[in-house]
């Protein structure tokens, strides 16, 4: 007996497309970028904070213990070497996090561009569907033909340049109002 193969649902296709997008982006990353992301993954965990606190505590206790046992302290207060190690660790951690954030910001920008393209395509398809439905409504003899201004407006494709210009104007107006309120 042959087993029926179900066609993938749109949800499954979308999830697979997104997973493939991230897989491709991960493959594009250089070896050094992957190393940085691995380090960033370790640094971003609570256990890392626990390790730092434990290291600093042990360092201070070892120095205090050496003093109590009348031995030479390897880093007496104010713990110059410890400060240097912690500062270096802070610089490295910050750099690793910034590198990872930069990559994720670029990835997010690509996703936003994809979203914009899909939204524009969806808007074009919706406009076309409205036009087809209105044409069908006009051509069907059993349907009363009537004037629908909202439908007429929705039949017009959205001009992205006009939308951006209106957004810029609204933003400029809001900025002027904020400036005027401060005066």
Domain segments of the chain: what residues?
14-156
N residues, the chain: 183
pTM as predicted: 0.60
With a cut of 60, say whether residue 4 has pLDDT above it: no
Question: What's the pLDDT score for residue 91?
Answer: 96
Q: Choose from 57-66, 111-120, 174-183 the range with maximum mean pLDDT.
A: 57-66
Among candidates 82, 88, 89, which has minimal Cα distance to 60? 82
Contact 101, 95 (CB under 8 A): no
Q: What is the mean pLDDT of the chain?
A: 87
Question: What's the pLDDT score for residue 183?
Answer: 78
Percent over 90 (pLDDT), the chain = 31
Q: Choose from 25-34, 41-50, 116-125 the range with maximum mean pLDDT.
A: 41-50
Angle, CA of 132, 137 and 141, to the nearest 5°: 140
Asked whether the CA dihedral 29, 30, 31, 33 is positive or negative, the reply is: negative
With a cut of 60, say whether residue 160 has pLDDT above it: yes
Higher pLDDT among residues 9 and 64, named by residue: 64
Buried b (16+ CB within 10 A) or exposed e, 2-41: eeeeeeeeeeeeeeeeeeeeeeeeeeeeeeeeeebbebbe
């Amino acid at each position: 007996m042959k087993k029926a193969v179900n066609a993938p649902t749109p949800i499954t296709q979308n999830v697979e497309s997104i997973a493939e997008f991230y897989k491709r982006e991960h493959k594009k990353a250089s070896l050094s970028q992957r190393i940085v992301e691995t380090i960033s993954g370790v640094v971003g965990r609570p256990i890392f904070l626990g390790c730092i606190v434990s290291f600093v505590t042990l360092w201070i206790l070892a120095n205090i213990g050496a003093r109590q046992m009348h031995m030479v302290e390897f880093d007496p207060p104010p713990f110059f070497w410890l400060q240097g190690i912690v500062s270096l660790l802070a610089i490295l951690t910050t750099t690793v996090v910034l590198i990872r954030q930069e990559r994720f910001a670029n990835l997010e920008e690509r996703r936003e561009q994809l979203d914009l393209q899909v939204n524009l395509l969806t808007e074009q398809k919706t406009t076309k569907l409205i036009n087809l439905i209105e044409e069908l409504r006009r051509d069907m003899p059993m349907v009363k033909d009537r004037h629908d201004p909202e439908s007429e407006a929705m039949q017009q494709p959205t001009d992205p340049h006009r939308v951006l210009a209106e957004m810029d104007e609204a933003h400029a107006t809001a900025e002027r109002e904020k400036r005027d309120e401060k005066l």
